[in-house]
Amino acid sequence: MKDCTEPVIERLAEDGRRAKPHFVVGVGGGRAIDTAKAVAWKLKVPAISVGTQCATNADTSAEVVVHTEDHKYLKTLILPRNPVLVIEDTEVIAKAPAKYMVWGMGDALSTKFEGEAYAKSLAKRKDGQSATFAALALGQACFDSLMAHGAKAVKDVKNGIHSAEVDEIIEAVKLTSGMAFENTGCALAHALHNGLSRTGQITGEHGELVAYSTIVQMVFEKRPREEIRQVVSWCESVGLPTKLKAFGEPSKSALRIAAEYAAEKDMDSRNMPERMRPADVMDAIDQVERGI
Ligand SMILES: [Zn+2]
């Protein structure tokens, strides 16, 4: 299985219908775990996640990211229930290549910023819903842990050292980020990730593109330059790309299509407090490209 695609989910669900399991266990990274969650949902049985690396916060999540067979983003399924059991053996995860941890941190970087946008967008609605302080506090705790321990954890994994910082980052990616975003929502960072990865002109991993798109979201929100610079230099220190050239330099027209999709069509864009205009997203991308 190369990817979490509709044909793979359907084929495994068909096998499952014959085997009639009591639950489905996903073992591995995000693609394996998302596929297992989707198959469990189709079979109406609980899902169990067993993470073997740290590139994703999919393990705790009720969301499933479905790709096409040529690895373009297709859609996100929102399942009615989260995995009932999540097992993370930090001895195993600490031995996975360091690049997975870098990608997972890139994905987790978005949690605080998207959660805060989500909370603001709820506050503007008149139906009385609000984000919980607990979820926002977890988003902040995830961010603080990444900033404090990320660079050391990556260095330690590269050197085969299972340090306290490695455990801190596994917790930030797998538990803290997962619980924070499941109780808030994604916003521009994931909407732009989805838009960019639909163009077919982008290479790179989910977490790398989400980290880049988080910087774009921060610029779009007109956050203080100091705050944005802190995130950019942290990304550079852990090896996350901060410029589009790392993703294959998509054309201007592909970028416009991605910005349009992110601002107007992607479901995560509804969690931004202001109505987004594609031109403003493009402008934020241009600013990131020029340098913060
Ligand atoms: Zn993500």
| Tens-place pLDDT, residues 57-107 | 899 999 999 999 988 889 999 999 999 999 999 999 999 999 999 999 999
What is the pTM (predicted TM-score) of this model? 0.92
* Number of domains observed in the structure of the chain: 2
* pLDDT (0 to 100) of residue 21: 97
Which one, of 138, 287, 105, lies nearest residue 211 by Cα? 105
d(CA 137, CA 192): 25
Please tell me whether residues 139 and 159 are part of one structural domain: yes
Q: Rounded to the nearest whole angstrom, what is the distance from the C-alpha of residue 20 to the centroid of ligand 1? A: 31
Q: What are phi and psi of 224, to 5 degrees?
A: -55, 140
DSSP-based three-state secondary structure for 17:
helix
Q: Identify whether 193 is a catalytic site residue.
A: yes
DSSP-based three-state secondary structure for 110:
helix
d(CA 127, CA 37): 32
Q: Is residue 99 part of a domain?
A: yes
> Is the CB of residue 159 less than 8 Å from the CB of residue 131?
no
Q: Identify whether 190 is a catalytic site residue.
A: yes
Please tell me whether residues 19 and 76 are part of one structural domain: yes
Please tell me whether residues 178 and 255 are part of one structural domain: yes
Handedness of CA 262, 264, 269, 274 (dihedral sign): positive
Please tell me whether residues 121 and 224 are part of one structural domain: yes
End residue of a domain, out of 26, 60, 88? 88
* pLDDT (0 to 100) of residue 7: 96
Bridge partners for 76 per DSSP: 65
Structural domain containing residue 45: 6-88
Residue 110 is part of a domain; what is its CATH number?
1.20.1090.10
Q: Identify whether 107 is a catalytic site residue.
A: yes
Please tell me whether residues 16 and 83 are part of one structural domain: yes
End residue of a domain, out of 88, 110, 135? 88
d(CA 250, CA 37): 32
Q: Is residue 1 part of a domain?
A: no
End residue of a domain, out of 88, 109, 140? 88
Q: Identify whether 3 is a catalytic site residue.
A: no
Q: Rounded to the nearest whole angstrom, what is the distance from the C-alpha of residue 206 to the centroid of ligand 1? A: 6
| Tens-place pLDDT, residues 6-37 | 999 999 999 999 999 999 999 999 999 999 99
Taking 80 as the threshold, does the pLDDT of residue 1 lie above it?
no
